[in-house]
Amino acid sequence: MPLVAVSPQVPERLVEIKTRHHLQLQVTSDPDNNLGRRLGILYSFDEASRKAALAKGNFIGDTTGTGTWELPQPPSSSSPRTARWPSLKSAGLAGAYRSRTGIACG
């Protein structure tokens, strides 16, 4: 089973991260967090976290390019027996990360 990293960050940023960290796995962009939303794994910063980030000059929406405070949360386990979120297949997305026009691969 291939391992794929998915991030809402823009593809150009992901290419830089993949290169800098010498990642061998496929790194895929999920602009607008569509995949994260379909899988039900999005986290939104609460008000205190937003204020703290802004005080440091950080708006995650600028980093990811989504313009929102949402980030996908990775599952606590990658094992199909213990994972707490649906698989791509059960979410109706099997193969979608490669074929959807809204997702660019790097």
- Render each residue's pLDDT in the chain as its tens digit; 106 residues: 778 888 888 888 888 888 998 988 888 888 889 888 888 889 899 999 999 999 999 898 988 888 999 998 876 555 555 445 455 555 554 444 443 333 444 4
pLDDT at 64: 86
Which residues is 80 bridged to in the sheet? none
Residue that the structure tokens 């937003």 belong to: 50
pLDDT the model gives residue 63: 84
> CA 4 to CA 94: how far, in whole Å?
13
Q: Which residues contact 39 (CB under 8 A, 6 or more apart)?
A: 72, 85, 86, 88, 91, 93
Structure pTM?
0.61
